[in-house]
């Protein structure tokens, strides 16, 4: 009996020893798997970081090629349209255009840095963006900004195509090419869905209005491009362009009277009602204006300033819709 007890104890010890070995083997496999997983994850992160930090070049609206060692860490914009596109693509924005009206909650905490006509260089230096986005007219100031280590990238917005080019440019800068392609595809699709006016094109005079200044918008301006795409006829299409503002021309009252527009559309940055009143007062100084079909039929329209007085960015389709609806409303 004693011998039997010893045999049973010996067998139990062997069984326990075997279980321990199996458990140790399993733990070893689990540890190896964990190490392999961590190694793979680390490798993937290194590849991702390498992709983020790879050097690349972009060509901006002035044709200059700008080199980057890695994806820019921060952006600032002087135009609301450029800001809109940057935000739509999830860019880290540290500086935005100054605003006189109500500001959306999503951007109110971003530092204001002035506007294209009055940049605030002190604020630009304060936010110190990796990239400052500006219009070509900013070139005269670029040297001082670039000395501080900020690269200036120029954009333009004289057509829907220009805005889509800017979207592509920002997509490259941010490493978000696919997101930019999708955004552009949406704009193209919506633009094509907005039908042109049927029948004869509505004869239109586009007037850019600023205090004491009235200019005719030409087809190579953003509003001129939208008018053409909506099916209107720009009666000032052959007016000679201003040297300083090649998208605009001086008003020729004689030619305007001769071509007799069916509608006059006013483009402004300011208060629409005040602008309309000032323009109507201007017309009273020349009795010939009163004989225009547009004036006689009450077809003097002030276009929304947030869509036409500045680059509307991703809201360009909203501007095209307003243009089409404005033409359709002509009596």
Rounded to whole angstroms, the Cα distance separating 92 from 72 reads 9
Q: What is the pLDDT of residues 311-320, one digit of tens each?
A: 999 999 999 9
pTM for the complete prediction?
0.81
By CB atoms closer than 10 A (0-12, 13-18, 19+), residue 245 is: middle
Structural contact between residues 154 and 136, judged by C-beta atoms closer than 8 angstroms: yes
Average pLDDT in the 143-162 region? 95
pLDDT score of 273 more than 80: no
Nearest residue to 260 via CA among 325, 202, 215, 200: 202
The span from the CA of 19 to the CA of 189, in Å, is 67
Residue ranges per domain, the chain? Answer: 56-191, 196-328
pLDDT digits (tens, 9 = 90+) for 228-242: 999 999 999 999 999
Using a 10 angstrom Cβ sphere, with 0-12 exposed, 13-18 middle and 19 or more buried, the burial of residue 299 is buried
pLDDT classification of 46: cutoffs 50, 70, 90: very low
Across 291-304, average pLDDT: 91
Of 64 and 50, which is predicted with more confidence? 64
Q: Among residues 130, 62, 45, which one has the least CA distance to residue 91?
A: 130
**Alpha helices for 53-95 (secondary structure H):** 80-88
The hierarchical CATH code for the domain 56-191 is 3.40.50.1980
What span, in angstroms and rounded, lies between the C-alpha atoms of 94 and 125?
Answer: 11
Mean pLDDT value of segment 148-166: 97
> For the structural domain made of 196-328, what CATH number should be given?
3.40.50.1980
Per CATH, 56-191 and 196-328 having the same topology is answered yes
What are the E-state strand segments in the chain?
A: 56-59, 65-68, 75-77, 93-96, 111-112, 131-134, 151-154, 202-210, 213-217, 232-234, 248-250, 263-267, 300-302
């Amino acid at each position: 009996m004693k011998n039997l007890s010893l045999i049973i104890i010996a067998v139990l010890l062997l069984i326990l020893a075997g279980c321990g070995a199996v458990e140790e083997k399993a733990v070893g496999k689990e540890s190896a798997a964990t190490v392999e997983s961590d190694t793979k994850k680390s490798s993937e992160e290194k590849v991702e970081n390498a992709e983020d930090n790879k050097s690349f070049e972009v060509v901006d609206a002035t044709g200059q090629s700008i080199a980057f060692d890695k994806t820019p860490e921060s952006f600032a914009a002087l135009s609301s349209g450029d800001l809109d596109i940057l935000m739509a693509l999830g860019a880290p924005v540290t500086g935005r255009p100054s605003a006189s009206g109500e500001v959306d909650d999503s951007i109110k905490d971003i530092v204001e840095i002035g506007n294209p006509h009055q940049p605030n260089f002190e604020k630009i230096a304060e936010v110190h963006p990796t990239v400052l986005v500006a219009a070509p007219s900013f070139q005269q100031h670029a040297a001082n900004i670039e000395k501080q280590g900020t690269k200036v990238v120029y954009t333009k917005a004289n057509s829907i195509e220009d805005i889509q080019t800017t979207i592509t440019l920002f997509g490259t800068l941010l490493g978000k090419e696919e997101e930019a392609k999708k955004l552009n595809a949406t704009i193209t699709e919506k633009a094509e869905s907005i039908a042109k006016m049927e029948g004869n094109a509505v004869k239109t005079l586009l007037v850019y209005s600023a205090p004491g200044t009235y200019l005719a918008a030409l087809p190579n301006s953003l509003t001129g491009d939208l008018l053409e795409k909506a099916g209107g006829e720009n009666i000032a299409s052959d007016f000679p362009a201003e040297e300083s503002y090649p998208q605009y021309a001086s008003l020729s009252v004689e030619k305007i009277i001769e071509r007799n527009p069916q509608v006059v559309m006013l483009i402004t940055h300011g208060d629409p009602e005040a602008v309309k009143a000032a323009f109507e007062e201007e017309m009273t100084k020349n009795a010939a204006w009163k004989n225009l079909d547009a004036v006689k039929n009450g077809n003097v329209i002030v276009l929304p300033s947030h869509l036409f007085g500045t680059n509307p960015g991703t809201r360009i389709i909203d501007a095209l819709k307003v243009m089409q609806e404005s033409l359709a409303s002509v009596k």
